[in-house]
Amino acid sequence: MAEQFVGTGWAFPLRIGPGGGIAMVSGQQEVEEAMRLVLATAPGERPMRPEFGCAIHDMVFAPVNEATAGRIQHEVYASLDRWEPRIEVEDVEVTAGDGQGVLYIDVRYSVRGTNNPRSLVFPFYTIPSHDYPDLPDSSSSAGFPGSADFPGGSSADSRPAPESDR
Better pLDDT: 101 or 135: 101
- Mean pLDDT estimate for the chain: 81
Mean pLDDT for 10-39 is 88
Q: Kindly report, residue by residue over 44-70, the tens digit of the pLDDT.
A: 999 999 999 999 999 999 988 899 999
| Percent of the chain scoring above 70 in pLDDT | 73
Q: Can you list the pairs that 153-161 forms with residues at least 24 positions away whose Cβ atoms lie under 8 Å? A: none
In CATH, the number for domain 6-12+22-125 is 3.10.450.40
Report pLDDT digits (tens) over 82-132.
999 999 999 999 999 887 788 999 999 999 988 899 999 999 999 877 655
23 vs 74, more confident: 74
Query: Which 8-state DSSP code applies to residue 133?
Result: P
Which pairs with CB-CB distance under 8 Å and at least 24 residues apart come from 137-146?
none
Measured at the alpha carbon of residue 89, what is the angle toward residues 87 and 95, in degrees to the nearest 5? 135
The ranges assigned to domains in the chain are 6-12+22-125
- What was the pLDDT predicted at 153? 46
User: Which pLDDT band holds residue 141 (cuts at 50, 70, 90)?
Assistant: very low
**The dihedral formed by the CA atoms of 16, 18, 21 and 22, expressed in degrees to the nearest 10:** -50
Rounded Cα distance between 96 and 116, Å, is: 27
pTM over 0.75: no
